[in-house]
Amino acid sequence: MPRFEGEIERLWSLGEMQPIQHLTWDWWWWLIMLEDANNPNRSRQLMVLWSTKETRSIDVGGYEWQGGRPLTDDEGGLAIPGMIAAWWFDGKRMWEPLVKKSLRMAAIPTSHSLWPGEEGVMGSGAIIPVDGHDLSMGLRPDGEEFWLNLTSDDSQQKKGCATNFAFRMTPWTRPMSTARWTHRDYGKGMGYDILRLHGALVQGEIDGAQVSGTAYFQKVCVQAPSPPWYWGILHASDGTYIDWFLPHVSATITAKDARPWKMRDLPHHPLSQSGLLHDAKNQRSEVFEQVRVRKRPGNQDEGEHAEWPDAPLPFFEVEMWNGRTTVLIEAQAISRAHWTFDQPTRGRMTSHLTYNEYPLEVLKLSIKDENGTRNLDDFDWVRGNAEHSWGLLH
């Protein structure tokens, strides 16, 4: 597969839905999972988010961010009042936030006159934050490679964190590296758009040291209150991909603290259930509409550098089935990154969202179909990440 395919031309545009005050939220999001030489079913992980929100003010983890509306010029370029945020799990310690900056950004397609050099294929372009460091991300004009450059904040460098991150993402398999766009309309202007690349191969450097791994990408616009959700992905060595998504109603919708484990995490009522398997061995993709997710306290604590050092990290059990194939997953969270959002809303009230991401150690994987059963031993490695959110931002 020489280049990224699919609806890649949607990468650098915003505003396909009419914006709604307090609700409209756009972001570009890379999750990079790097080889961990000490354990093939764990990974070092980097998350980077470039975002903008249609709001006058929102508190992001104690940092007040003034939002606003992106402006578009006659050539499709965007001037964006935004924020870049990142975390880095080095295999032992979570550096959070690795980067957190409010700044202006430009999103430029290669057809724009500001783009240097020749015009590229549809979908190539870049998002370029205006900063003294290179914090850019983009798709090269030939469509064959993304780049991502990042410099950690000075405050984290002083604590011993890595400084410079530079990655190149290239196509993996056609199911993985074909951009897929989904739109859902809830009525009254509310809904979401999402563009995904389920997988890419990664080569890069961290402070000059060579690294390799895989990556996942989303470009998202959400303009609706989001209920709590479970989500997660796995990448396997042969190119197999698994994800799950379970938005739900539970007592956590009223939670205001960011402690990683609460008794109210246990009961939940799914609003929808969805999962996906790109099966490299059988050369097919399967959709699941029956998904169960169970979260319970695991056997590992957050650790000394976390906000709650003694709090247990979660253990996830996921089951998906569709009449032909059943997938079972058991995974221990080995660290956590979390972001809290508090947004003033109507009647002088403040709405809240806690968003958690968990690098995983996969302890069990079973894929059972008409051809038999595969388990963790059938793969050289499996890497993964899970999300759980609570609260309701509106």
* Average pLDDT of every residue of the chain: 91
Which range scores top for mean pLDDT: 39-43, 65-69, 115-119, 204-208? 204-208
Distances (CA, A) of 86 to 32, 50, 205, 391: 11, 9, 17, 21
Give me the half-sphere count of Cα atoms (radius 13 Å) on the Cβ side of residue 50.
Answer: 29
- 201: alpha, beta or left, given left = phi > 0 and alpha = psi -120 to 50? beta
Options 3.40.50, 3.30.2450, 2.40.370, 3.90.930; CATH for 226-394 is: 2.40.370
Instruction: Select the more confidently predicted residue: 389 or 265.
Output: 389
Task: Answer for the pair 332, 359: CB distance below 8 angstroms, yes or no.
Answer: no
Distance, CA of 230 to CA of 243 (rounded, Å): 11
* pLDDT band for position 152 (cuts 50, 70, 90): very high
* pLDDT band for position 264 (cuts 50, 70, 90): low
Supply the pLDDT for residue 337.
Answer: 95
263 pLDDT more than 70: no
Supply the pLDDT for residue 265.
Answer: 64
Three state DSSP letters for the chain: CCCCEECHHHCCCCCCCCCCCCCCEEEEEEEEEEECCCCCCCEEEEEEEEEEECCCCEEECCEEECCCCCEECCCCCEEEEEEEEEEEECCCCEEEEEEEEEEEEEEEECCCCCCCCCCCCCCCEEEEECCCCCCCEEECCCCCCEEEEEECCHHHHCCCCCCEEEEEEECCCHHHHEEEEEEEEEECCEEEEEEEEEEEEEEEEECCEEEEEEEEEEEEEEECCCCCEEEEEEEECCCCEEEEEEEEECHHHHCCCCCCCCHHHCCCEECCCEEEEEECCCCEEEEECEEEEEEEEEEEECCCCCCCCCCEEEEEEEEEECCCCEEEEEEEECCCEEEEEEEECHHHCEEEEEEEEEEEEEEEEEEEECCEEEEHHHCCCEEEEEEEEEEECC
222 pLDDT more than 90: no
Exposed, middle or buried by CB within 10 Å (0-12, 13-18, 19+), for 313? buried
338 pLDDT more than 80: yes
Supply the pLDDT for residue 103.
Answer: 93
Query: β-strands 326-333, 350-369: how paired?
Result: antiparallel
> Smallest Cα–Cα separation from 190: which of 142, 230, 225?
225
Task: Give the other-Cβ count within 10 Å of 355's Cβ.
Answer: 18
315 pLDDT more than 70: yes
Least confident of 20-29, 296-305, 310-319: 20-29
Express each pLDDT in 281-314 by its tens digit: 999 999 999 999 999 999 999 888 888 888 899 9
- The end-to-end CA distance of the chain, in Å, is 42
Distance, CA of 352 to CA of 393 (rounded, Å): 5
Supply the pLDDT for residue 32.
Answer: 98
Task: Answer for the pair 4, 124: CB distance below 8 angstroms, yes or no.
Answer: no
Task: Answer for the pair 333, 300: CB distance below 8 angstroms, yes or no.
Answer: yes
Domain map of the chain by residue range? Answer: 1-224, 226-394
CATH topology identical between 1-224 and 226-394:
yes
* pLDDT band for position 158 (cuts 50, 70, 90): very high
Express each pLDDT in 345-376 by its tens digit: 766 678 888 999 999 999 999 999 999 999 99
CA–chain centroid gap for 66, Å, is 23
- The yes/no answer on whether domain 1-224 falls in CATH 1.20.120 is no
Express each pLDDT in 189-221 by its tens digit: 777 889 999 999 999 999 999 999 999 999 998
Instruction: Select the more confidently predicted residue: 188 or 241.
Output: 241
Distance, CA of 63 to CA of 213 (rounded, Å): 32
What would the mean pLDDT of 130-137 be, rounded to a whole number?
A: 97
37 pLDDT more than 90: no
Tokens of 213: 């791994």
* pLDDT band for position 22 (cuts 50, 70, 90): low
Distance, CA of 98 to CA of 165 (rounded, Å): 11
Residue with tokens 């190539």: 124
Distance, CA of 148 to CA of 140 (rounded, Å): 11
What's the CA angle centered on 220, arms 48 and 4, to 5 degrees? 75
Distance, CA of 372 to CA of 368 (rounded, Å): 6
